[in-house]
Homo-oligomer: A and B are copies of this chain.
Amino acid sequence: MHDTFVSNPSFFKLDATLKKIRNYWQKNFDARQMDITVDQWLLIENLYKHKRITHNELARLTSKDITTVSRIIELLVKKDLVERQGSTDDRRKVFVQLTPQGVNKYKDVRPLVLEMRKTGWNNLSERDYNELTRILDVIYANIP
């Protein structure tokens, strides 16, 4: 393995790309008055898909710290997009689900997200997508 390869700047490149995507998403959310952040969207997306899950599961699904999830959920509850329900069989658990307004928010934002994903993948093939996925998966698995 070459030294230039070992001392590669991929961390920087990953970080820069992610920041660019995140800023682009946020600017579009703001421009269309969606009144949510990118990470709030990620939680909404998962709640739409999984209907009714705990903070813990949501944290695992989104690769977020449970404290971060707890605080984002708090903001979403304040916006009436999400509601919490204590579990009856295990009273430590708190279930979370979208309110009707939360479901509407999902449906409002979703087309914009698809559009932006398309923009990001412009000039790239499905093979490129598979390559990126494969490489990131290997890196992820390499790290203890």
Residues on A facing B (Cβ under 8 Å): 1-2, 5-8, 10-21, 24-25, 42, 62-63, 114, 117-124, 126, 128-129, 131-133, 135-140, 142-144
Taking CB atoms, residues of chain B closer than 8 Å to A138 are 122-124, 128
Q: What's the least CB distance linking A109 to chain B, in Å?
A: 13
Residues of B within 8 A of A143 (CB): 20-21, 24, 119-120
B144 x A24 contact (CB < 8 A):
yes
Q: Does B121 contact A15, Cβ atoms closer than 8 Å?
A: no
- B139 touching A8 by the CB < 8 A rule? no
CB distance from A126 to the nearest CB of B (A): 5
Judging by beta carbons under 8 Å apart, are B63 and A5 in contact? no
- Across the interface, do B135 and A124 meet the contact criterion of CB distance under 8 Å? yes
List the B side residues contacting A18 at CB < 8 Å.
11, 14-15, 18
The CA-CA distance from A10 to B128 in the complex, in Å, is 12
Cβ 8 A contact of A8, one of B8, B16, B129: B129
Asked whether, in the complex, the Cβ of B121 is within 8 Å of the Cβ of A63, the reply is no
CB pair A142–B114 under 8 Å, yes or no, is: no
Residues of B within 8 A of A1 (CB): 118, 121, 126
Q: Which residues of chain B come closer than 8 Å to A119, judged between CB atoms?
A: 142-144
